[in-house]
Structure 1
Amino acid sequence: MNILLALSRLIDGLNAAIGRTVYWAVLVAVIISSGNAVVRYGFNTSSNAWLEVQWYLFSAIFMLCAGYTLLRNEHIRIDVIVSRFSERTLTWIDIIGTALFLLPISFIIMYLSWPVLVDSFIRHEMSSDAGGLIRWPVKLLIPVGFLLLVLQGVSELIKRIAFLQGLIPNPAPRKQDAHSPVDGAAE
């Protein structure tokens, strides 16, 4: 299990580094969007390429940070339901959900997106908009993003199993409710 936990730490480090790096794409997208607005309304001109760069950046943020979101336990949960379960029950729900849903669906999407990417690359597919960009780079984000998500799913499985074996603390502790007292202190 120590080897698997080391692998988990490596995967966590990879997704954390990618997540922190892709944060900067948000700033770049905002700057490009602001520049587009100034040029469009100030000089009455525009470029589809700059609009598509914004779209590519948004896609990169969304796809490349999916694994990072899972790492940080920031993915969507139904808190009203899961707040009633014990940590062990929640861990089992995470294990079953990851094994039966997250990993198989992610593998399917990677498998199905690969031929689309290859076809786009071989054909040198371009945007149908005038002045648009090549399409394969944004299509590459799909299999890469889901690969990062699969890797993080494997890491989370390892950590959940290690937690159930008593080897590590809970890798997904419950977050404090925004309206509840912190650490039991009175409001």
Structure 2
Amino acid sequence: MELVAGAVRLISALNRVVGNVFSWLALGIVLVCFTVVVQRYVFAVSYIWMQDLYIWLNGAMFTAVAGFALLRDDHVRVDIFYRPASIRRKALVDLVGTLVFLLPFCWIVFSYALPFVQRSWGYYEASANIGGMPGLFILKSFIIVFAGLVALQGLALIGRSILVLAGREALLPPRLRYTAAADHLTEAAE
């Protein structure tokens, strides 16, 4: 069980780092978008590559932080049954839901995206817009990153559920444990 707890901690730490790093792209998105608007309406100048840039930053950010959102329990869930449930019931719901829905979804995304991304890398795809950004193949690779990070966090969720159902949740740090009164993980001050 210590190995399971270690894997949960490691995967959660990876998604926490990726999430904290890529969430800074939100600032970049705002700054680039603001610059595009000022250039267009104040200086009557427009650069297609800058318009591509804030859209691409947005895509990269949201795909990269998806595993982090799952870690923090920030995803959309119908809470009328989950919120008042006991910790063991939450663990069981998470275990079954991850095995039946989340991991198959990640596999489908990965398997359909892989040829799409490989083809894009094959000819170093760029923006379809004349004067647009180069490197669209890199952005498309974030689809694979999305599937991988969400699947990894799903495995961590399975591990956490197994620890709870085995009565060994104490092997996890408090920030990764279920809480009885709320539907979110306990967030430790960092």
How high is the sequence identity, in percent, across the aligned residues?
30
Aligned length: 177
Superposition deviation, residue 176 in structure 1 = 4.5
Stretches of structure 1 lacking an aligned partner (at least 5 in a row): 178-187
Give the alignment of 1:107-146 within 5 angstroms: 107-133=107-133, 134-146=135-147
Q: What is the TM-score normalised by the length of structure 1?
A: 0.89
Cα distance, 1:137–1:175 mapped onto 2, change above 3 Å: farther
Separation (CA, whole Å) in 2 of partners of 1:85 and 1:130: 54
Aligned to 2:91: 91
Matched-pair contact (CA < 8 Å) for 1:73–1:172: no
Work out the CA distance in 2 between the residues paired with 1:89 and 1:175. 13
Alignment RMSD (CA, Å): 1.6
- 2:60: which partner in 1? 60
What amino acid is aligned across from residue 79 of structure 2 in structure 1? D
Letter in 2 for 1:172: Y
Offset of residue 48 of structure 1: 1.3
| Paired residue type of 1:158 | G
How far off its partner does 1:175 sit?
5.8
Q: Which runs of 4+ in 1 moved over 4 A?
A: 174-177
Deviations 1:131-155 (A, max 9, x none): 1123101100000111011111001
Normalised TM-score (structure 2): 0.87
Alignment of 1:150-161 (within 5 A): 150-161=151-162
Distance 2:87 2:42 in 1: 56
Structure ID, larger Rg: 1
Q: CA deviation at 1:174?
A: 5.0
**Residues 84 and 10 of structure 1: CA distance in aligned 2, closer, same or farther (over 3 Å):** closer
1:51-87: per-residue Cα shift (whole Å, max 9, x none)?
1111111111111111001111111111123234322
Matching residue within 165, 168, 172 for 2:178: 172
